[in-house]
Structure 1
């Protein structure tokens, strides 16, 4: 994740983007004490400072396994683990005013919900963060088809059939027929 982050997020202070080892101490301290209170200083790989004053009190911190963000003090802090991301989309906000946002679709268990990261103060940073999150979202997906095993694991099939029979999800006749197919 660290290599992906370094590849996709530039160190660009003019956009509020800071990548380790060049994390501004004051801004990072403010982020960790304001909204990213559950993140250790040594975990932070990158910081997005969304404040116009450069204090770091709003924005996002990125770690190896998650990111934590707060758009402003009136909104709740959000923690998102990268594998929970199922959608990332950059979009314009407030037409004509140049604002940007990154819409996130997050799935946790059986709940899927939407979050938005606000980039109205530094709209150019939105495309970099969206690009990184989009890449992080699909990093663990293996698109190669699974190879067919050379042999059937008869013991695993037998155990599965016995479990299905015990749960009464398989009739006695079907169980016997399938066991015969296994050579039992």
Structure 2
């Protein structure tokens, strides 16, 4: 199975004319600016590819592809977005502005019970949208190995119980649902033993 690093290197061209830069050939100035502007929790060594969405070439807007997630910001008026690949349930490159040349990558994201849509604006370089969408779509379909934390085969029962306790204390889980989930957790635990 291909890793996300292999996937990015295989499917994303190092094409500065499209605003696409693939590690290890990402200009350090662009990378530093992107991280400081919209991805403060990202380590430079973890970035697999950078999409510079700015017309000025500063990389203050755009996207960073990492091993487990994409982090992006369309402009300074919008909040930065972080999307784990495992949360993607839909990816599509679409036209913007009714055929006037702009493109975007539409993402459908599922987190728990919430499903919502986000868009990564690629209007500055419409050709880049297809490459970004292709990589994200492949990661969504699990065509790549997302690492051991994303494919653990064992349930951490204590972690699940702590999460259920937290949800109950936040009143996001009814007492009946809490008890039902604990029973299911207990039954599964006894099957494992």
Normalised by the size of structure 2, how large is the TM-score? 0.72
Match of 1:173 in 2: none
Distance 1:96 1:137 in 2: 27
Match of 2:170 in 1: none
Query: Which residues in structure 2 correspond to 1:1-184 (within 5 Å)?
Result: 1-139=4-142
Give the 3-state SS of the residue equivalent to 1:95 in structure 2. helix
User: Once the 2 structures are TM-superposed, how far is the Cα of residue 114 of structure 1 from its aligned partner?
Assistant: 0.2
Distance 2:66 2:83 in 1: 10
CA RMSD of aligned residues (A): 1.7
Give the 3-state SS of the residue equivalent to 1:39 in structure 2. coil
Give the unaligned 5+ runs of structure 2: 145-179, 184-193
Distance 1:65 1:49 in 2: 20
User: Once the 2 structures are TM-superposed, how far is the Cα of residue 82 of structure 1 from its aligned partner?
Assistant: 0.4
User: Residue deviations 1:26-72, cap 9 Å, x none?
Assistant: 11000010001110111111000000000010000111011100000
Choose 1 or 2 for highest CA Rg.
1
Distance 1:140 1:118 in 2: 25
Q: State the aligned residue count.
A: 144
Greater helix fraction, Structure 1 or Structure 2: 2
**Would you identify which runs of 4 or more consecutive aligned residues in structure 1 move more than 6 Å?**
none
Match of 1:161 in 2: none
Compare relative contact order (CA 8 Å, sep 6+) and give the higher one, 1 or 2.
Answer: 2
Distance 2:136 2:52 in 1: 17
User: Once the 2 structures are TM-superposed, how far is the Cα of residue 139 of structure 1 from its aligned partner?
Assistant: 1.6
